[in-house]
Structure 1
Amino acid sequence: MSAMQFGIFTVGDVTPDPTNGTTPTEHDRIQATVRIAQKAEEVGLDVFATGEHHNPPFVPSSPTTLLGFIAARTERIILSTSTTLITTNDPVKIAEDFSVLQHLAEGRVDVMLGRGNTGPVYPWFGEDIRQAVPLTVEKYGLLRRLWREEVVNWKGEFRTPLQGFTLAPQPLDAVPPFVWHGSIRTPEIAELAAYYGDGFFANHIFWPASHTKKMVELYRRRYAHYGHGEERQAIVGLGGQVFMRKNSQDAVREFRPYFDEAPVYGHGPSLEEFTAQTPLTVGSPQEVIDRTLGFRDYVGDYQRQLFLLDHAGLPLKTVLEQLDLLGEEVVPVLRREFAVGRPDDVPDAPTHANLLAKRDAEDSDADASNGERS
């Protein structure tokens, strides 16, 4: 595994194709997502991540079910979420689901936690969006303990207490999945990631670079403050959005109708305004390479880059073509260029294997120091 991971994330939207008016069925969209994940592995990407949504027009309401199925159809790619809703899920269920998924996927699993900003979803799961931040802090504190302690006794504000609870199954090799905290705009989430020494994933798709820069700087500063290492050693991931054709004009012409009608940004700024103000890149593979390499200028050396490719009603055939371009023309160059000048003490992207090696090294260091004392 290289120092950086490259991959894709999906939000799982079911959106009409504005060029011909056809809308995929939910079944079609779920099957297409599996195919996209397989293709991501085939073209040499490192990560596939799925969002979690509980309302139409989205289909990924059960991410670990989807990822478990994809695990059986793949061999190498890391399976993640983008994001798992820590606010409306029960930490006990998250701990169980991801432990099982770890075992099924032989450790090719991590998790990105987020609050979720769709107000009506909260009461469906017995929660209140006005409590989103305290819910996140309390539930994540419990989740960490469930993955690390054999017997958990716990009492909090938002759920019934636990007495003598033991997680079954335990995490694979007693190494919990690596945790990323995903956020677009919430400083408290950057603070939470820094406090625990976890990864911080700045979604980086709707806001200007200056905003992402501030969020990542806050996280790095607080990571160092809490004693996890130097600022440059904090674990950072970024989102991104691209649409490519060999020829830049073709890319703009083909993507424009999808952009103009997309639920997330249609009917607002023009495509040209949006690409100027945010990291959305529509153009040739070289333009995507140049724009993405520029991210390092304002966030520093980082560990994970995920792109959104399969949204806004783009047909499966087009998404698979995008993956070919990403895997063949873009990512090999990004791997090479991002490695240039990368300091030796900047951590590699987290994997189960390197987390296990780190744990074993810490255990042997502890054994050695105990031996010296005795």
Structure 2
Amino acid sequence: MQFGIFSVGDVTLDPTTGHMPTEHERLKAITTIAKHAEDIGMDVFATGEHHNPPFYPSSPTTILGYIAAQTEKIILSTTTTLITTNDPVKIAEDFATLQHLADGRVDLVLGRGNTAPVYPWFGKNQQDSVELTVENYALLRRLWDEEVVNWEGKFRTPLRGFTATPRPLDGVAPFVWHGSIRTPQVAEIAAYYGDGFFANNIFWPKEHYQQLISLYRERYEHYGHGKADQAIVGLGGQFFIRKNSQDAVNEFRPYFNNAPVYGHGPSMEDFTSQTPLTVGSPQELIEKTLTFRDYYGDYQRQLFLVDHAGLPLKTVLEQLDLFGSEVLPTLRAEFAANRPAHIPDAPTFGARKAAKLAAEAHAAGVSEGTSTAAVQP
């Protein structure tokens, strides 16, 4: 089980001080946050992709490359790489480059995003979003898996004898998760290719995500990648914790009430009761997070949103310290307990490289055995 954090990359006024951080401040802060996540023993840091205010991460691979140079172990990912409006050739090249620089500790979540105007900004039509997702990912897969690609589709110019460079590190392409909060076709794509499925698990009740994850698991088995409960699932979540539950509630309330994503809507109490948000003590976060397995089955990756709504850097780092000391060890132990042996671990570059080498060795052995048998008298 991998644990980590993700950032949507908002630039938001701190409602308690009136301070509006600059984009520069937020970009430097997220680097500090990612490094601190590694320091406390987290496994993954991920960032979103947006091309409009009030968000700063328009170039995730640049951000992750900078973080890669200052970290050693943490997996670097995205929570949305826009498969609809980014050129698949550029995605293939950017993430293969990042993969080399980070010594393989890279994966990505592909999605359509939630900002409608982004389509015309990049010369696309929102009405084509699902078709773009299907076609662009099919091309991206080939660009990583095949040395020379000849390809023709509906939404970009054809490719003739094209080789994406650099090639994936050691012939192992970055692992792909497909993210969605409402589109069954995305769950279908993830299942078809045997990729992971990531549900952000933030804004909706559990029943909403249960439908998508159940569909993905069912189709994963249908396509012969394994049993439904072996499908590779990742979840989001969010929290604000203090040692005393009431202190957490009092401190976070002004941030919640003014947050761009849910402020001026449901009360914080209603929102925490109806969604995965935890505002309270470390024990309350542990208890709520452990229910995710009850709802969605055994899964491989749990990411949390902690640096949003105008929270100052100092507070975010305090959140991470408390999580690392009082939550993370218990979650690791509890999720490991009673985990069936047939449930796969979270994908890593090292494990996937080892599997590739083992498969190649097996294929070579079979081929050699067949050839030897063919010449026996």
The partner residue of 2:273 within 242, 255, 276 is 276
- Aligned positions of 1:52-67 closer than 5 A: 52-67=49-64
Superposed CA deviations along residues 273-315 of structure 1, whole A, max 9, x for unmatched, are: 0001100110000000000011000111100000000000000
Superposed CA deviations along residues 335-358 of structure 1, whole A, max 9, x for unmatched, are: 100001111111101000000011
Q: Distance in 2 between matches of 1:251 and 1:128?
A: 43
- Aligned positions of 1:229-248 closer than 5 A: 229-248=226-245
Superposed CA deviations along residues 147-190 of structure 1, whole A, max 9, x for unmatched, are: 01010000000000000001111000010000000111111111
What is the letter of the counterpart of residue 357 of structure 1?
A: A
Query: Hey, what does 1:367 align to over in structure 2?
Result: 364
1:329, CA displacement in angstroms? 1.1
What is the letter of the counterpart of residue 196 of structure 2?
A: G
Superposed CA deviations along residues 346-372 of structure 1, whole A, max 9, x for unmatched, are: 110100000001111111221222223
The partner residue of 1:155 within 136, 148, 152 is 152
Query: Hey, what does 1:218 align to over in structure 2?
Result: 215
The partner residue of 2:204 within 207, 222, 228 is 207
Query: Hey, what does 2:28 align to over in structure 1?
Result: 31
- Aligned positions of 1:100-249 closer than 5 A: 100-249=97-246
SS for the counterpart of 1:41 is helix
Superposed CA deviations along residues 35-78 of structure 1, whole A, max 9, x for unmatched, are: 00010001100000000000001000000000000000111100
2:278 aligned with 1:286, yes or no? no
Q: Give the structure with higher Rg (CA).
A: 2
Q: Distance in 1 between matches of 2:204 and 2:361?
A: 45
CA RMSD in angstroms comes to 0.6
Runs of 4+ displaced beyond 2 Å: none
- Unaligned 5+ residue runs, structure 1? none
The partner residue of 1:326 within 320, 323, 326 is 323
Query: Hey, what does 2:338 align to over in structure 1?
Result: 341
What is the letter of the counterpart of residue 213 of structure 1?
A: Q
The size of the alignment, in residue pairs, is 371
Q: Distance in 2 between matches of 1:25 and 1:40?
A: 22
- Bigger mean CA offset, 142-151 vs 211-220: 211-220
Superposed CA deviations along residues 242-300 of structure 1, whole A, max 9, x for unmatched, are: 00000000000100000000000001100000001100110000000000011000111
Superposed CA deviations along residues 227-256 of structure 1, whole A, max 9, x for unmatched, are: 000011100000001000000000001000
Q: Distance in 1 between matches of 2:355 and 2:322?
A: 35
Q: Distance in 2 between matches of 1:185 and 1:310?
A: 24
Give the TM-score normalised by structure 1: 0.98
What is the letter of the counterpart of residue 36 of structure 2?
A: K
1:95, CA displacement in angstroms? 0.3
Superposed CA deviations along residues 3-41 of structure 1, whole A, max 9, x for unmatched, are: x10000001100000111110011001000000001000
- Aligned positions of 1:70-89 closer than 5 A: 70-89=67-86
- Unaligned 5+ residue runs, structure 2? 372-377
Query: Hey, what does 1:90 align to over in structure 2?
Result: 87
The partner residue of 1:351 within 319, 330, 348 is 348
SS for the counterpart of 2:69 is helix
Superposed CA deviations along residues 176-226 of structure 1, whole A, max 9, x for unmatched, are: 000000111111111110000000001110010111111111100000000
Q: Distance in 1 between matches of 2:114 and 2:20?
A: 25
Q: Distance in 1 between matches of 2:38 and 2:366?
A: 43
What is the letter of the counterpart of residue 362 of structure 1?
A: A
Q: Distance in 2 between matches of 1:373 and 1:62?
A: 50
The partner residue of 1:314 within 311, 314, 327 is 311
1:327, CA displacement in angstroms? 1.2
1:117, CA displacement in angstroms? 2.0
Q: Distance in 1 between matches of 2:177 and 2:28?
A: 27
2:248 aligned with 1:266, yes or no? no
